[in-house]
Every structure is written in structure tokens, then in C-alpha cells.
Structure 1
Amino acid sequence: MRLVGRDGHGIELRIDGYQFPDAEDERLRTSWLMIAGTAYGPEGSWSFRWQALTPPDAVHLAAWLRTAEAGDTLRFTEPNLSLALTARGPDETVLRIGLDLEFSPPWRKHIRAGDPYTIPARLSTADLLAAADDWAAESARFPG
């Protein structure tokens, strides 16, 4: 999924499999998804990979991208990723992407959650909906 604005700032995310793909217990095997991505911020770009979403979280993310209203914030159990919709118009959506802990830029290491590095992303509405569709298709491959 690509959430990168016209100015080149944003993130690309993909599901990189289950955290425990070989576990005998199916509940453990499908409990966490490995999320890999690249962030593009005003200060530079970097890549990350961590068990950051559950399969239901992934489904919820796609739905949120389609239906969130300005002022809505999406957070998860693992605080690595958050999204806030700061504005939504007919042709443009503005997201504030929060990247914390293992998703933080390499120059900003800290050990406590709650102070994410934020990236504003100005997206066309069409690009946002395409990203939601891409994410929904990808997360459907990883049921929980």
C-alpha cells in the first residue's frame, strides 16, 4: 500500500507474512502480521519491519482509510503505527502518519511509546481509495 503524497512524504506498507508461520497452534500462527515498509519524511527515508498488526487490525485499517472523517485517529495495540485524518475534501485527504518505536527513523531511537515521528501526507482522494483497496486485497491473504 502506498500512502505517499505529491511532495514525496508518506509511507509504503506491506504485509511480510505471519510472525509465527510455523507454529503448530493456529491461533499463535495467525496472531501477528509482520509489517514491512519504507517511510519518506522531510528529514530522510528509512525502512522498517516489525510484528505490528493483527489480522483484524489489518482489515480495520483498510476500512478506516475508506470511511474516516477529519479528526479521526487510528491506533493499534502495538504503537508502531498510527494514522490521523486531519482533513478530507472531495479531491484531497491529509493524513498525519505516526511512526513509533521500531518504525521510528534510525536517528530517533527511544524506548518508550507515545512520541511518534510524524509525517504529513497530502493524498488525492483517488490515491487514498486505491491504497485502501490495495491494502484490503493484501490483508485478505492473511486471515486471522
Structure 2
Amino acid sequence: MRLVSGSAFVDLRPVGYQYSSVSGGWDGNWLLVRGEVGLDDGRSWSFTDPCLTTWEARSLGEWLRAVADGDVPVTDGEPFGFTEPNLALSLAERSDDRYTVRIHLALGSCPPWPVEAPYFLPLRLGRDELRRGADHWVRESAAFPPR
């Protein structure tokens, strides 16, 4: 899934199970997520972390679709997060069919230069962009079902 705002972007893709030989329970359902992040100023970085479970990957697609449908409230509080704090999202602003989604990054998902954690990147996105991102994420994560 690639979300782009100006020249800033976040690209997130599930790339495999953390423990390929385990088939069940929590250990068998951790996913490695590859992230690439680019900022408006040209700086970028990438990470690969076991930061979502298969169940959380499914809920991420549902959350993105709910944002696009107008069913997620704007918040300055707790983001939509997961068991591991490496990745979270929040809706910072909504007006008509434009949304500002914050991508919260912590621990091994942060940039390699000193930043205050969690670091977040706001992306201004249209409704169709969000839906495409959600659809891509759902397709990509379907390759790694719960086991």
C-alpha cells in the first residue's frame, strides 16, 4: 500500500511471517512489514519489522476503508494502534473528501536520525486515494492469512 501526499509518502507491505515454521497462536501470526517512508525534504528511510499480527493487518484495511467512508472521528488523542508500538495511524483532519492521516512510527520504524518518538508523518489524502490504499493493503495482506 502506498499513500502519497505531495512528495511525501509511506509504503507499507506485509512481506512474510516472522516465524515461518510456527503454525498457530501468537507466534505463528506475527507479520514482517516492510516500510518505506519519504519526506517532502527528500530524506527517506526504510524498515522491516514484525509490527502487526495477521488479525491486526486485517483491521488496518478495515480502518482505512472506514476513514474513507467518513466513519472514523478526527482525534488528537489515542491513535489506531496495534500490539507493537512501531506503527499506528490517526485521522487528524477531515474536510469534504480530503483527509489528513497521521502515520505514527516508533522504535525500529523511526527515521535513522534523531527524532522525538513516536514520530509522525501527516499525509493529506483524497477519499479515492484512501480507498485504493485500503484495497491494496487488503490484497497484499490476504497472502498471509491467520494460521
How does the TM-score come out when normalised to structure 2? 0.85
Deviations, residues 17-41 of structure 1 (Å, cap 9, x unaligned): 0001123x43366320000010112
Question: In the alignment, what sits opposite 1:118?
Answer: 120
Structure 2: runs of 5 or more not aligned: 67-71
Question: In the alignment, what sits opposite 1:106?
Answer: 112
Q: Which runs of structure 2 are paired with 1:56-95 in the superposition (5 Å)?
A: 56-67=55-66, 68-71=72-75, 73-95=79-101
Question: In the alignment, what sits opposite 2:10?
Answer: 11
Deviations, residues 9-61 of structure 1 (Å, cap 9, x unaligned): 231000010001123x4336632000001011245110100100000100000
Aligned-residue Cα RMSD (Å) equals 1.9
How does the TM-score come out when normalised to structure 1? 0.87
Structure 1: runs of 5 or more not aligned: none
Give, in angstroms, the shift of residue 74 of structure 1.
0.6
Identity of aligned pairs, percent?
39
Aligned 8 A contact 1:95 1:122 in 2: yes
Q: Report how many aligned residue pairs link the two structures.
A: 138
Question: In the alignment, what sits opposite 1:133?
Answer: 135
Q: Deviation above 4 Å: which 4+ runs of structure 1? A: none
Are the structure 2 counterparts of residues 2 and 8 from structure 1 closer, same or farther at C-alpha, using a change threshold of 3 Å? same
Deviations, residues 61-109 of structure 1 (Å, cap 9, x unaligned): 0000111232272111100011110122332111111110000001127
Of residues 88-97 and 44-53 in structure 1, the stretch that sits farther from structure 2 once superposed is 88-97
